[in-house]
Amino acid sequence: MYYIYFSFIFILSGLMFLECKRQSLPKWWAAIVFAAPVTTPYFIFKSGKGNRLILFLIFIVCFSIVTVGEIFIYSRMKATYKYDSLPPVTRQLIRYSEILQQTTQNLDNALIELEQQSKVQSNLDKLEQTIVFIGQLRQIMLDNQAAIKQMVEFVGSYRDFFTQKDLQWVYEIKRFYNNRIVIAHLESLENYLDNFETLLRFCYRNFDAITKAESTIHLKNYDEYYLRYRRAVDSHNRFNVKRIEFQNDFIKRHPETKAYLPTERQTKAFRLWE
């Protein structure tokens, strides 16, 4: 942290030494400046005219750079080591909590993006982009589920510790994600993605046959795939409504858990071809 400071005083005292030597002034002034850099303006103005203004400006610029640099480095170090004084279990809890928050936010953002991309209409490129994005979304879901599992198992292992520390609300996070309504909601989301991807892949492979209505078989299959997709969306929405109702009540009873729960949003269905 101090390497910027020492570089500054070495340069400053060196400049003062050269100035003292050039003007035949006491060289011990440089030693005083090295020990107490704030005395530099006094010696600069005491040294007479010459280059005093240049030296003073150098001092001000260097001092400002060092001050800003020290503040920045200190704030970074403080942020890095801010949890060092906490017990290991608490530090681990904070780490798992941050991972859960981030992966939950990533999943929420990805689902919003999916709804935007699912307005594909009759466009091969859009179909392909949405298929690729669903693959990315699955990985985001896996990351979120891994974070949930990690948090749930950790909280379950240290329940007595959290109770002693008056952190019972942490255990409520486990209860939320273990609730059958929440589990059913996640399963319905996976089913929705499966059926949506199946529909998109069928449309992508048989794009011309569907858009040009060249084959009644393809149109019939499209209707079947689309019907399954709509059923999956409707089913997911029903589970989502139940999850939102449960979550609203849960947050009222345990407001501290809100940051670790999914957002309250509804998945919409979009017809690919009108």
Query: Could you write out the DSSP letters of every residue in 67-132?
Result: HHHHHHHHHHHHHHSTTTTS-HHHHHHHHHHHHHHHHHHHHHHHHHHHHHHT---S-HHHHHHHHH
* CATH classification for the domain delimited by 88-260, as one of 1.20.120, 2.60.40, 1.20.1300, 1.10.8: 1.20.120
Min mean pLDDT across 81-95, 118-132, 161-175, 189-203 is at 81-95
Mean pLDDT, rounded, of the chain? 78
Distance of alpha carbon 68 from alpha carbon 75, whole angstroms: 11
For residue 94, what pLDDT band results from cuts at 50, 70 and 90?
confident
DSSP3 helix / strand / coil % (the chain, rounded to 5): 80, 0, 20
pLDDT value at position 53? 62
- Give pLDDT tens digits for 14-52: 766 766 666 666 666 667 766 666 666 666 666 655 556
For residue 165, what pLDDT band results from cuts at 50, 70 and 90?
confident
Give the whole-number percent of the chain exceeding pLDDT 70. 65
Distance of alpha carbon 243 from alpha carbon 262, whole angstroms: 10
Q: Is the pLDDT of residue 272 over 50?
A: no
For residue 160, what pLDDT band results from cuts at 50, 70 and 90?
confident
CA distance from start to end of the chain: 64
Distance of alpha carbon 222 from alpha carbon 230, whole angstroms: 12
Min mean pLDDT across 6-10, 153-157, 162-166, 215-219 is at 6-10
pLDDT value at position 90? 79
Q: Is the pLDDT of residue 85 over 60?
A: no
Mean per-residue pLDDT, 93-122: 82
| Angle in degrees, CA 163, 168, 169, rounded to 5 | 165
Contact yes or no for 8/69 (Cβ under 8 A):
no
pLDDT value at position 46? 63
Distance of alpha carbon 151 from alpha carbon 231, whole angstroms: 33
Mean per-residue pLDDT, 150-167: 83
Contact yes or no for 134/199 (Cβ under 8 A):
no
